[in-house]
């Protein structure tokens, strides 16, 4: 199905800027895969919400112009009517879940559309096969990793069989192998004639998938390229626009570094012993006899989705485990920046959020932290009114201001553009230079190469490799 934007402008009711989207004219052909790229806050997600009808039917604001799905104007359609044509996967997959178990979630969209039971079963079977989800069936959604939740979100939308797929940062919490699987899924959708719109910072996996990359800056479409055209301009050109590299091998040999066999060594370490945890006897999550983190260094924790990385972070910080483990975490002085930062944003303004854990409170220092993360202009804004990438940086600012000895970051660059990734990298290095010990869970090879000193790799709840960079 074709998508058309005709002189479209939109501003949110509480927007800082005069407008978020400014005079957009865009045609996306049926069966085309288009990537919306650009820096955080440029308006990419707003464009996606204009396609799936969340704007203006759910989020209020001032809109001008027309958005057409085929020959139908979204202004004349209800959200229920638009949902028959458009399937969405949001930046935070939890925000679109309605069930506790994975099987029911995959079926939910079809049930909402009134699909016959036998057809629902057929679609579920095909989706499970196409997405390789056999190991995730019958699972509690709240026991899944961020990447596994993203897979279920994609599968539930796929089962509804829409004409248009809108994906907002679908790779943000996925490991490299799962990102490759996502690329194959998008290829499958294209093969079936579906139109795919992807809002994305990580471009490398779409190099052989996308037809066009559209660069959005300050609410306007600045330029567009084919992937080959952008690659020909080189990684320095992409970086100058705040874009991630379109070719992973241009990152300086990330794959070879990650495959190194060198062992880490450090004179002083923070050591944890007998780290064990399971949600159910059927699914043991962690079994780590000993974990040592070099003090004053940045250690990256790598591993496939579902390897137990986030659970390990929660155990270290005392959010899970025995009372003695929780007491030890408090005594050590730990701080966790979660994968889903919506769980730890509490106050009415960004500045208050940074001041919340700061002792003693120092507004000047808090503003300096915000400025280092390009957030000073948002100091008086409500944290929940920000974009996903901006929320991520607010949570990082709170972690910096806490002044704890061990700070654990769970996917700190999820949803961030290249410049913001570099800003986070610089912040992590500054913290390490002040003697802080940092433990960074990440799927971002660019971040690892920019700031990490050591790497630990997990698989099935165990540490299988560790080395120095």
For position 142, what pLDDT does the model report?
A: 86
240: phi > 0 → left, psi -120 to 50 → alpha, else beta; which? alpha
Question: Strand 269-280 and strand 283-294: pairing?
Answer: antiparallel
468, two tokens: 């120095």
What is the domain range of residue 116?
A: 3-251
Can you say how many angstroms the Cα of residue 251 is from the centroid of all Cα atoms in its chain?
A: 20
What distance in Å separates the CA atoms of residue 75 and residue 57, rounded to the nearest whole number? 8
* Whether residue 148 is found in the same domain as residue 213: yes
* Whether residue 265 is found in the same domain as residue 226: no
For position 464, what pLDDT does the model report?
A: 93
DSSP-assigned beta bridge partners for residue 294: 269
For position 451, what pLDDT does the model report?
A: 94
Is the model's pLDDT at 38 over the cut of 50?
A: yes
For position 292, what pLDDT does the model report?
A: 93
For position 260, what pLDDT does the model report?
A: 40
Range with the largest mean pLDDT of 40-49, 170-179, 282-291: 40-49
What distance in Å separates the CA atoms of residue 339 and residue 93, rounded to the nearest whole number? 12
pLDDT of 86-108, one tens digit each? 999 987 777 889 999 999 999 99
Phi, psi of 309 (to 5 degrees): -65, -50
Number of CB atoms found within 10 A of residue 356's CB: 17
Which stretches does DSSP call E strand in 123-176?
164-168
* Whether residue 215 is found in the same domain as residue 292: no
* Residue where one domain finishes, among candidates 251, 285, 306: 251
* Whether residue 206 is found in the same domain as residue 261: no
Mean pLDDT of 331-342: 88
* Whether residue 230 is found in the same domain as residue 172: yes
Residue 158 pLDDT grade (very low, low, confident, very high; cuts 50, 70, 90): very high
What distance in Å separates the CA atoms of residue 268 and residue 438, rounded to the nearest whole number? 14
* Whether residue 289 is found in the same domain as residue 271: yes
The C-alpha angle 196, 198, 203, rounded to 5 degrees, equals 125
126, two tokens: 């095909």
Mean pLDDT of 353-381: 93
For position 177, what pLDDT does the model report?
A: 82
Question: Helix, strand, or coil here: 365?
Answer: helix
Mean pLDDT of 232-252: 81
pLDDT of 406-421, one tens digit each? 999 998 988 788 998 9
* Residue where one domain finishes, among candidates 251, 283, 309: 251
pLDDT of 110-120, one tens digit each? 999 999 999 99
* Whether residue 333 is found in the same domain as residue 373: yes
Is the model's pLDDT at 259 over the cut of 50?
A: no
Is the model's pLDDT at 252 over the cut of 60?
A: no
Number of CB atoms found within 10 A of residue 468's CB: 16
Mean pLDDT of 321-338: 86
Mean pLDDT of 327-353: 90
| 8-17, 47-56, 68-77, 452-461, range with the lowest pLDDT | 8-17
Mean pLDDT of 113-133: 93
* Whether residue 193 is found in the same domain as residue 304: no
DSSP-assigned beta bridge partners for residue 3: 28, 69
* Residue where one domain finishes, among candidates 236, 251, 266: 251
* Whether residue 235 is found in the same domain as residue 287: no
Mean pLDDT of 191-211: 95
The pLDDT mean for the chain works out to: 88
Please state, for a pLDDT cut of 90, what percent of the chain lies above it: 61
Residue 14 pLDDT grade (very low, low, confident, very high; cuts 50, 70, 90): low
Question: Helix, strand, or coil here: 173?
Answer: coil
Residue 282 burial by CB count (10 A; 0-12/13-18/19+): exposed, middle or buried? Answer: exposed
For position 44, what pLDDT does the model report?
A: 93
Helices (H) and strands (E) in the chain, counts: 17, 18
pTM above 0.85, yes or no: no
Is the model's pLDDT at 439 over the cut of 70?
A: yes
* Whether residue 324 is found in the same domain as residue 262: yes
Number of CB atoms found within 10 A of residue 333's CB: 14
Q: What is the CATH number of the domain that holds 307?
A: 3.40.50.300
For position 266, what pLDDT does the model report?
A: 43
Is the model's pLDDT at 264 over the cut of 60?
A: no
Q: Which residue has the higher pLDDT, 263 or 283?
A: 283
Is the model's pLDDT at 249 over the cut of 70?
A: no
What distance in Å separates the CA atoms of residue 360 and residue 209, rounded to the nearest whole number? 51
DSSP-assigned beta bridge partners for residue 199: 36, 168
What distance in Å separates the CA atoms of residue 236 and residue 215, rounded to the nearest whole number? 16
Is the model's pLDDT at 16 over the cut of 70?
A: no
Residues 6+ apart with CB under 8 A from 117: none
8 Å CB contact between 3 and 180? no
For position 414, what pLDDT does the model report?
A: 83
Mean pLDDT of 227-250: 88
Is the model's pLDDT at 304 over the cut of 80?
A: yes
* Whether residue 286 is found in the same domain as residue 362: yes
The DSSP secondary structure of 71-122, one letter per residue, reads TEEGGGS-HHHHHTTEEEE-SSGGGG---SBHHHHHHHHHHHTT--HHHHHH
Is the model's pLDDT at 258 over the cut of 60?
A: no
* Whether residue 298 is found in the same domain as residue 423: yes
Residue 105 burial by CB count (10 A; 0-12/13-18/19+): exposed, middle or buried? Answer: buried
Packing angle between helix 146-159 and helix 117-131, nearest 10 degrees? 140
Number of CB atoms found within 10 A of residue 431's CB: 21
For position 15, what pLDDT does the model report?
A: 61
In total, how many domains does the chain have? Answer: 2
Question: Helix, strand, or coil here: 444?
Answer: coil
């Amino acid at each position: 199905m074709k998508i058309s934007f005709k002189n479209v402008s939109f501003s949110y009711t509480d927007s800082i800027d005069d407008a978020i989207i400014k005079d957009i004219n865009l045609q996306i052909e049926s069966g085309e895969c288009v990537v919306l790229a650009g820096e955080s806050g440029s308006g990419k997600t707003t464009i996606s919400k204009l396609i799936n009808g969340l704007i203006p039917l759910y989020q209020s604001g001032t809109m001008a112009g027309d958005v057409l799905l085929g020959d139908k104007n979204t202004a004349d359609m209800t959200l229920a009517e638009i949902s028959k044509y458009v399937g969405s996967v949001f930046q935070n997959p939890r925000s679109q879940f309605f069930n506790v178990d994975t099987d029911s979630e995959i079926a939910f969209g079809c049930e909402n559309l009134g699909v016959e039971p036998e057809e629902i079963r057929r679609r579920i079977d095909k989706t499970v096969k196409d997405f390789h989800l056999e190991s995730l069936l019958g699972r509690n959604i709240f026991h899944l990793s961020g990447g596994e939740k993203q897979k279920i979100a994609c599968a539930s939308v796929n089962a509804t069989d829409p004409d248009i797929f809108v994906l907002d940062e679908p790779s943000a919490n996925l490991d490299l192998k799962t990102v490759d699987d996502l690329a194959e899924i998008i290829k499958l959708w294209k093969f079936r004639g579906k139109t795919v719109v992807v809002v994305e910072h990580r471009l490398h996996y779409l190099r052989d998938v996308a037809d066009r990359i559209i660069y959005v800056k300050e609410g306007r479409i600045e330029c567009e390229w084919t992937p080959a055209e952008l690659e020909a301009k080189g990684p320095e050109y992409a970086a100058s626009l705040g874009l991630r590299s379109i070719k992973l091998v241009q990152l300086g040999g990330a794959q070879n570094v990650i495959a190194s066999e060198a062992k880490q060594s450090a004179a002083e370490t923070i050591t944890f012993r007998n780290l064990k945890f399971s949600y159910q006897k059927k699914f043991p999550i962690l079994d780590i006899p000993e974990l040592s983190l070099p003090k004053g260094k940045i250690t990256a924790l790598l591993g496939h989705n579902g390897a137990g990385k986030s659970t390990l972070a929660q155990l270290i910080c005392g959010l899970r485990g025995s009372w003695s483990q929780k007491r030890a975490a408090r005594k050590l002085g730990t701080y966790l920046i979660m994968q889903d930062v919506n769980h730890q944003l509490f106050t009415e303004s960004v500045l208050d959020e940074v001041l919340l854990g700061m002792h003693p409170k120092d507004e000047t220092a808090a503003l300096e932290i915000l400025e280092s993360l390009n957030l000073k202009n948002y100091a008086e804004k409500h944290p929940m009114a920000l974009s996903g990438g901006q929320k991520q940086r607010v949570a990082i600012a709170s972690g910096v201001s806490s002044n704890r000895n061990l700070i654990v970051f769970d996917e700190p660059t999820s949803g961030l553009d290249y410049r913001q990734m570099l800003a986070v990298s610089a912040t992590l290095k500054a913290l390490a230079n002040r003697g802080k010990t940092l433990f960074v869970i990440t799927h971002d090879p660019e971040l690892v190469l920019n700031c990490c000193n050591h790497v630990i790799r997990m698989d099935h709840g165990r540490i299988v490799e560790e080395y120095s960079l």
